[in-house]
Amino acid sequence: MQDFQFYTPTMVYFGKHMEQRVGSVLKEHGYSKVLLHYGQGSVIKSGLLDSIKTYLDESHIAWIELGGVEPNPKIGLIREGIELSRRESVDMILAVGGGSVIDSAKGIALGLANGKDSVQMQREQLMPTHHFPIAVVLTISSAGSEMSSSHVVTDPETHTKRGLSHDVLRPDFAFLNPELTFSVSKYQTACGIVDTMMHTLERYFTEQKDAPLTDTIAEAILVSVKEAGIIAINNPSDYQARATLMWASSLSHNGLTGCGKTAFFPAHKIEHDISGLFDHIAHGAGLAVIFPAWAKYEYNNDVEKFARLAVKVWDIAYDEEHPEVTALRGIEAMSNFFSAIGMPRTLEELGVPKESWETLASMTTNNGSSSLKSYRPLGKREILEIYHLAT
């Protein structure tokens, strides 16, 4: 087990109607004015936003609002949020939504606490040092941003989508009511299932062989998500399945599944450029295509681990003589599962034309000058081979 730090300070309120506590909890902890941050209207249509405003009013928490967060949140709105929050002297950013809204809220908090925004910090290779309070009312189980240290932002000027991770970005409070996800579409539910699995799997395949506790916990999360995922897709109002998916999305990305290991995250990095360039592509759908292709490209470098996953999660019998067959069957089973819940199998199905491959691979490798960490370095040529395996 490698040395690690583990810090998950988020106070989680999990269960039915938990969003109703938002006002009283924030009041109890001394907050007085929040920026209510949300997306493009679903929380308005559902009535959730109005309810949240009521809960805040009832607890005498003042609020201002900034909606309009798009999927793949943009730095422009974050800058607007920083200005607005500063002008209005809010003492907390309250995100009502999913991963994009939370990531946008984290961007605002980062800017408020550190003087520079995340695109500036990444350009200047700076790391944040200060935290600004963040609370979350979650509406989709997927990104795990409600407990994670991650923040992903897109800069439309450069079409780049980049991540920044730091403990100062972990939310202070997360209100997780699985009922709020009953109305999430099958497609978005499936994207969330894939994203949650990926946050676990991208930490599972690493060079460390000596973190068995972390690996068995990862397998526990994957099995639970697989089983609950099928139920939730078939019956969107199954509370227990939605609850499992919601809690799994938080645990998969709060650091627990990476303790004692150094993760590569190659599929995320390859996918970020795809959904950065093609704004309509959902991150989870992109991962459902890229991760199995990456796995087919890399399994030979860690046959036993890929075979172990096949046995523990995908119920494949272990082939003593040919563990590589077990490994490949596991990858196939994973692909079949993604397909069964409605995810695309190929780049073409995903909506990525072959003509864009060259551009994408260049973006991911800084014009071929850098490579991604994986079992072996993935440069432009290797990434193009992975695209080929995704056809």
Binding site for a copy of itself (CB under 8 A): 1-16, 18, 210, 212-213, 216-217, 219-221, 223-224, 227-228, 240, 243-244, 247-248, 251, 256, 259-260
User: 145 vs 244, which CB is nearer to a copy of itself?
Assistant: 244
* Minimum CB distance to a copy of itself, residue 10 (Å): 8
Cα angle vertex 40, ends 38, 43, to 5°? 60
User: 207 vs 210, which CB is nearer to a copy of itself?
Assistant: 210
Distance CA 294, CA 172 (A): 35
User: 108 vs 211, which CB is nearer to a copy of itself?
Assistant: 211
The CA-atom distances, in angstroms, between 11 and each of 48, 53, 172, 338 are 21, 21, 6, 32
DSSP 181-200: GTTS-HHHHHHHHHHHHHHH
* Minimum CB distance to a copy of itself, residue 15 (Å): 3
* Minimum CB distance to a copy of itself, residue 249 (Å): 11
Question: 3-state SS string over 113-165?
Answer: HHCCCHHHHHHCCCCCCCCCCEEEEECCCCCCCCCCCEEEEEECCCCEEEEEE
Contacts of 115 (CB under 8 A, 6+ apart): none
Residue 80: closest CA among 37, 17, 144: 37
User: 99 vs 229, which CB is nearer to a copy of itself?
Assistant: 229
User: 42 vs 224, which CB is nearer to a copy of itself?
Assistant: 224
The CA-atom distances, in angstroms, between 111 and each of 10, 59, 119, 150, 162 are 20, 27, 10, 15, 16
* Minimum CB distance to a copy of itself, residue 229 (Å): 12
* Minimum CB distance to a copy of itself, residue 6 (Å): 4
* Minimum CB distance to a copy of itself, residue 256 (Å): 8
Q: Find out whether 73 and 154 touch, Cβ atoms under 8 Å.
A: yes
User: 263 vs 384, which CB is nearer to a copy of itself?
Assistant: 263
